[in-house]
Amino acid sequence: MILSLAAAVSPWDIALCVTGTLISCENALVIAVLFYTPTLRAPMFILIGSLAVADLLAGLGLILNFVFTYLIDSSLEFVTLLSVGLLISAFSASVLNILAITVDRYLSLYNALTYHTERTVTFTYVMVIFIWVSCLTLGLLPALGWNCLKDESTCSICRPVTKNNAVALAVTFLLVFALMMQLYLQICKIAFRHAQQIAVQHQFVAISTTKGVSTLSAILCAFGACWLPFAMYSIVADYSYPVIYTYATVLPATCCSVINPIIYAFRNPDIQKSLWMACCGCVPSNLSLRPRTSSDV
């Protein structure tokens, strides 16, 4: 029985399950640090925490999908709908939380003088609640009848999501990505303008700004490289296409949730200090003591 199961398991599904496990471990660590550190309650950390929760659920969804596929009767409709609904909600929340963090960074530069008075914790919680309500609604759509279980010909590359729904989600992602590109472009323009205005620190700021723009470019390129292949393939393909192409585009998309904690959490000096304190009870002397603001990249 074990040998026959091992022979039937797809290497792609194993890769997705391993990726889900890594995602879950990384983001559980981020959530634990934020939860047990009272000083990390600013709007920026609320958004980072919401992103970590979304990615944690995405990782657990990948693990559950493997369990449902190979250890439970996947022909049961509610099992399929539960798995797909969780993945849609989690990954949608992940993308929208990244957009919210980008907007937060933009506003912190555009309204630098009034940002800390306008961006209250309550406003941030309202925005996070709106994101999660929207994403949970998207996740419930397959269970509410928007699925292809009764008509396989309408299926997308991700059964039981219909082709029309998959296209709608992919187009929405492309719009989000375009908005992020525009926001990051504006952030770069504002950063360069600030650099030019500070003539006394011209050389230092020029180097710092160039490094910041390089970091922003890396963040945007990583996000696009992970999600664009899957989004474009969802638009042009359907259930009749070879499944290997679906796996080849889904795996990079899930890797975005592996990268997110590194980009948005582990690079933050305050979170780094909390991690060092939790692990060894000390903070390295070379670790920056400057609080990081939302405008930092």
Q: What is the mean pLDDT of each run of 10 residues along the chain (297 residues)?
A: 55 95 96 90 91 96 91 76 93 95 85 69 91 95 87 87 93 95 88 66 53 73 93 92 94 95 88 80 56 48
The answer to whether 273 touches 266, Cβ cutoff 8 Å, is no
Please name the amino acid found at residue 87: L
pTM: 0.88
For the segment 189-235, what is each residue's pLDDT rounded down to a tens digit?
887 776 666 645 555 555 555 556 667 777 888 899 999 999 999 99
User: φ and ψ at 144, to 5 degrees?
Assistant: -90, 5
Domains annotated for the chain, with CATH where assigned, are 11-198+212-276 (1.20.1070.10)
Q: How high is the pLDDT of residue 50?
A: 96
Cis peptide leading into residue 291 (ω within 30°) = no
What angle, 0 to 180 degrees and rounded to 10, lies between the N-to-C axes of helices 202-236 and 163-197? 170
CA triplet 52, 55, 60: central angle to 5 degrees?
A: 125
Alpha-carbon separation of residue 52 from 34, 211, 261 (angstroms): 10, 26, 7
In 3D space, the residue among 133, 131, 104 whose CA is nearest the CA of residue 45 turns out to be 104
Q: How high is the pLDDT of residue 7?
A: 44
Separation CA 158–CA 225 (nearest Å): 20
Q: How high is the pLDDT of residue 223?
A: 92
Percent of residues in the chain assigned helix, strand, coil, to nearest 5: 75, 0, 25
Alpha-carbon separation of residue 271 from 18, 44, 105, 261, 287 (angstroms): 25, 12, 18, 11, 11
- 3 state SS of 162: strand
Q: How high is the pLDDT of residue 294?
A: 46
Alpha-carbon separation of residue 196 from 23, 106, 114, 183, 201 (angstroms): 40, 18, 21, 20, 9
Alpha-helical runs (H) found in 71-162: 77-110, 115-118, 121-140
Q: How high is the pLDDT of residue 200?
A: 53
108-135 burial, b at 16+ Cβ within 10 Å, e below that, comes to bbeeeeebeeebeeeebeebbeebbeeb
Q: How high is the pLDDT of residue 12?
A: 93
